[in-house]
Structure 1
Amino acid sequence: MRVITGSARGRRLGELEGMETRPTTDRVKEGLFNIIQFDIEGRKVLDLFAGTGQLGIECLSRGAASAVFVDRRADAVKLIRENLKVTDLTDKARVVAGDSVEYLKGVREKFDLILLDPPYAAGLLEPVIAHIARFDILSPHGIIIAEHPADKALPALEPPYRLHRTYRYGKIGLTVYRRSGNEKNEEETP
């Protein structure tokens, strides 16, 4: 597993032992970054269920301003920190050891880009998406990208959130949600 492009291009990332964490495949990762390639630079990223941290690290390598990595597994948290050191991106990152749903309940900041790749069988994707919308932690014009089995349809959300599109890569789906801006407030500003 390597960083595709940017400041850490070509750096090899460590992987977790066992089958509990399933890294995003190269094909899906390439597709994901083709979707958001113009929406990364200068943005605040949240990588929930971070695993190895490869998605958030790729964002940082491509110019994201900062990234928060959240994972409940101690071995994953340790590996994310090691991968950040290998890529020289530690200064732009914060690693949180803990449950992703609990993290969402307490978070007090907004993010421009939220990456979701929970264990498929855990049934966490829909509740996490609902929490993000309920607590409204996505910045105006922000993006959520959720990785899931291709045969699973994700729910629509209430405005200002909308399900933008689902992409399919073999057995894997990537669903993109977008948040509208604060158009009413933006019109009032001179």
Structure 2
Amino acid sequence: MPRKPCTAGWDDGRVMRIVAGSAGGRRIEVPPRGTRPTRERVRESLFSALESALDLSGLRVLDLYAGSGALGLEALSRGAAQATFVESDRRAARLLRRNAEKLGLRHVRIEQTTVAAALAARPREPYDLVLIDPPYAVDSAQLNQEYGLLVTHGWTAPESLVIVERPVQSDEPRWPEPLVVSRHKNYGDTVVYWAVHAGPDAALDDAIE
């Protein structure tokens, strides 16, 4: 069941920590309402699997429905070269910027807009890793359209990896070609899907299985 939004003020935000890397152990603020941050246990397991499957160093990362920025900031802490965050809520975007500055992480770009509006444009170059952790209220039909924009507007390229976190009771993603699901794993009431942009040489190490 979707969580009810918290009615606390923005001064009552929660905190969580970056798990590993250059900012490992450092705390970040989490918006008190309207977002559903990836639980630390899930994030730790996800990034452990990612680092077993590929080298994060130098990757371009796109964090959609970014909220506090926990996923993209974790990637930067572990060596990603650059991260773009898309968050529509003005206050959440401001908090995200504070988190990045507090951690001393560079090469951060924050777009305060909807995911659909951001993906309607074309990027200068594709991203290597796309992280998507939408609020439960975002329905599957909307997300399926946005997966399509990732591909048709050039946000991904062969070997790009797309990670999506959803509640277990939600519909499975309808992946547009050439995105191919390579893995999914349940974490209690949450499921995480991995999809790779298939191409002639696109392959992930068996470590993600």
Give TM-score, length-normalised by structure 2: 0.81
Q: Deviations over 1:69-95 (max 9, x none)?
A: 110000111011000011101x21111
Partner in structure 2 of residue 71 of structure 1: 87
Shift of 1:160: 2.6
Q: For residues 113 and 181 of structure 1, what CA distance do their matches in structure 2 show?
A: 15
Aligned to 2:107: 92
Given that 2:36 and 2:134 are in contact with CA atoms closer than 8 Å, whether structure 1 keeps it comes out as no
For residue 159 of structure 2, give the secondary structure of its aligned residue in structure 1: strand
Is residue 56 of structure 1 aligned with residue 72 of structure 2?
Answer: yes
Q: Which residue of 2 aligns with 1:26?
A: 40
Q: Is the 8 A contact 2:162 2:194 kept in 1?
A: yes
Deviations 1:17-62 (A, max 9, x none): 22x1111111211121122113422100000110000100000000
- Name the aligned partner's letter for residue 128 of structure 2: D
Cα RMSD, aligned residues only: 1.5
**Does the 8 A contact of 1:42 with 1:64 survive in 2?**
yes
Contact 1:11 1:86 in 2 (8 A): no
> CA separation in 2, counterparts of 1:36 and 1:45?
13
Give the equivalent residue in structure 2 for 1:83: 99
- Cα distance change of structure 1 residues 158 and 97 upon mapping to structure 2, 3 Å threshold: closer
- Aligned match for 1:8, one of 23, 48, 51: 23
Q: Are residue 113 (structure 1) and residue 129 (structure 2) matched?
A: yes
**Residue-by-residue CA offset, 1:95-131 (whole Å, 9 max, x unaligned):** 1111111100113231000000111222132222122
Give the whole-Å Cα distance in 2 for the aligned partners of 1:97 and 1:116. Answer: 16
Deviates further, 148-157 or 1-10? 148-157
TM score, norm. by length of structure 1: 0.89
| Runs of at least 5 residues in structure 2 that lack an aligned partner in the other structure | 1-15, 202-209
Indicate conservation of the 8 Å contact 2:144/2:175, yes or no: no
CA–CA distance in structure 2, aligned partners of residues 119 and 136 of structure 1: 24
Counterpart of 2:166? 148
Where does residue 186 of structure 1 map in the other structure? none
Report how many residues are paired.
181
User: SS of the counterpart of 2:61?
Assistant: strand
The 8 Å contact of residues 160 and 196 in structure 2, kept in 1 or not, is answered as yes
1:37-56 superposed matches below 5 A: 37=51, 38-56=54-72
Note the residue ranges of structure 1 that are not aligned, 5 or more in a row.
Answer: 184-190
